[in-house]
Structure 1
Amino acid sequence: MSNKKFTFIDLFAGIGGFHQSMHELGGKCVFASEIDTNARKTYQYNFSTHSPKLFKNGLFNQNIKTIMTEEIPDFDLLCAGFPCQPFSQAGKKYGFDDNHKSERGNLFFDIAEIIKVKRPKAFF
């Protein structure tokens, strides 16, 4: 993607590590999602000047499970730091059967659906 401008979405955004990196490479964030209240506050504080439309136009979603894929703007690159606890050696390794109240082991399938429908140029 060299120095050309590109668009990206930031799923399971945390405080914005992907956002910062993509911004420095010339990317424009067109949608983001983060469920943790404190991480959301930090993310908005960090990026309200970089990406004001993200926060003014309701494109900073709290729960990826509450939005229809078609509502997500088109983008070039999907960034997703989805929860690793269900798969990690440090966790209990329940995988897709995590049984956590947020069904965090199954969030991978939400990413797969977005990729299937939106067909980004790249994802990680």
Structure 2
Amino acid sequence: MTNEKLRFIDLFAGIGGFRLAFESVGYDCVYSCEIDDNCRKVYFNNFQEIPEQDIRKIAIHDLPDFEVLTAGFPCQPFSISGKRARFRDTRGTLFFPICEIVELKQDTSNQSIFSIFLTSSRE
């Protein structure tokens, strides 16, 4: 792996579980987003940063560059423990901004980054 830290964004960040895991192996969080006010307070206590609030209001082109996207998006619309309303549940439609971010921000100049991520995640 290169000496350069991989950058990630933390969407639907909750209290920061993905961030804690990724930072523990040397990745750098460059952006976070979480709508729940209680989670945002805990996230601030954990990382001294307040996440942006609503993924639907993100100016995607203003996001910092990143190599990895984490997203703990709501699973209730798709889960058998939920009502399985899928995209009829507004929480289910929150998956689409993730797709849009990936489509607009993916870095095509470095196609090997995915294999680097897989290799480092096995260590």
TM-score range, shorter chain: 0.7 to 0.9
Match of 1:36 in 2: 36
Larger radius of gyration: 2
In 1: Cα distance, 2:64 partner to 2:94 partner: 20
Aligned pair 1:104/2:91, yes or no?
yes
Query: Deviation digits for residues 2-23 of structure 1, max 9, x if unmatched?
Result: 8751100000000000000010
The answer to which structure has the higher strand fraction is 1
Aligned partner of residue 70 in structure 2, secondary structure:
strand
Point out where structure 1 has 5 or more consecutive residues left out of the alignment.
49-53
What percent identity do the matched residue pairs reach?
51
Q: CA deviation at 1:64?
A: 0.6
Give yes or no for contact 1:3–1:25 (8 Å, CA) kept in 2: no
Match of 2:120 in 1: none
Q: CA deviation at 1:68?
A: 1.4
Aligned partner of residue 38 in structure 1, secondary structure:
helix
Aligned residues: 110
Query: Deviation digits for residues 69-123 of structure 1, max 9, x if unmatched?
Result: 111111010000100010010110000111xxxx211011100000000115559
Match of 2:45 in 1: 45
Distance change >3 Å, CA 3–CA 20, structure 1 → 2: farther
| Aligned residue runs from structure 1 range 1-124, under 5 A | 4-48=4-48, 55=50, 60-98=51-89, 103-119=90-106, 121=113
Match of 1:51 in 2: none
Point out where structure 2 has 5 or more consecutive residues left out of the alignment.
108-112, 118-123
Q: What's the Cα RMSD here?
A: 1.9
Which stretches of structure 1, 4 residues or longer, exceed 2 Å deviation after superposition?
1-4, 120-123
Match of 2:121 in 1: none
TM-score, length basis structure 1: 0.82
